[in-house]
Amino acid sequence: MLCCFFSGIMDSSNSNEIVHEFSPFFRIYKNGKVERITADTETVPPSNDPLTGVQTKDTVVSQENSLSVRLFIPKITDPTQKLPLLIYIHGGAFCIESPFSSLYHNYLTDLVHNANVIAVSVQYRRAPEHPLPAAYDDSWAAIQWVASHVNGEGSESWLNGHADFDRTFLAGDSAGANIAHNMAVRAGSTNGLNGVKIVGVVLAHPFFGNNEPDTFSPVIEFIFPSVRIYDDPRINPAGAGGAELASLGCARVLIVVAGKDRLRDRGVRYYEALKRSGWGGLVEIVETEGEDHVFHLLNPNCAKARVMMEKVVSFINHGR
């Protein structure tokens, strides 16, 4: 679903004329309106899931940046129980989807139930209204907000009471996997996490750039205008020798790719670059044959999606 094209209709007197179109993601009209073309528009309110017992609630992290998160907690039987913490960053080409869509709410509910973890799902500001690096900055701000709970004195009781910050995981899919990678790099190169130990990172069908233009390049050039996307390590971490990979701030990485996904080879390239980088952790790559990009979100009950869920759960619960 990463086929895209650019359309420019700049000299129209009709404010409803399209001035930019990047299908299937978004189009921009002359009056400034942004229309998201492909997105799950069904918003799911926070709730108590009757099937799994997973509870959810939303909280605002920053009023200034409209930064918010959705928190997930499994059914708690022991009030003193500490659980691994998962910080999840949704995909959608940096410009569509949210933690509140049915797609991601249902997936995180399922993952939290199966892995028995607390999860924080980040609603970063989206392009094109907020060009990159806004999504990176917001995700880092959310992680630092999570870190403010390490001493049990944060604003959210679920994190204060039940999160084991020594067992923190980052995860994301597609563009969200790109962001999760960049958050792990930032964590490894700074001292700004205040006691949060990132044990592992899960990158599902990750979006990374290439050394040459492709069909997705016009989108990234438009939403990240301040950089050369082929050279910038945030977009192309395996490029230019992959120097930043060695500072990845975690002990383990799981990369999941899909056989029919046009991003498959970039996930493999990232895996190979990470192994060569001198980073001291353990990296594993798993391929789902015969499936396409984010199939596990679009068809979560299929057999291969369940196998992928089991792999992610096993990765989180390793050594638990």
DSSP code string of 240-283: GGGGGGGG--SSEEEEEEETT-TTHHHHHHHHHHHHHTT--SEE
With a cut of 90, say whether residue 266 has pLDDT above it.
Answer: yes
Tell me the two tokens of residue 186. 């930032």
Q: pLDDT of 220-234, one tens digit each?
A: 999 999 888 888 999
Q: pLDDT of 180-202, one tens digit each?
A: 999 999 999 886 688 999 999 99
Specify the pairing of strand 198-204 against strand 163-173: parallel
Taking residues 12-18, what's their average pLDDT?
A: 70
Q: Any idea of the CA torsion for 301, 163, 134, 185, to the nearest 10 degrees?
A: -90
Instruction: Give the global pTM.
Output: 0.93
Matching residue, tokens 């797609």: 103
> Which residues are marked as active site?
174, 261, 293
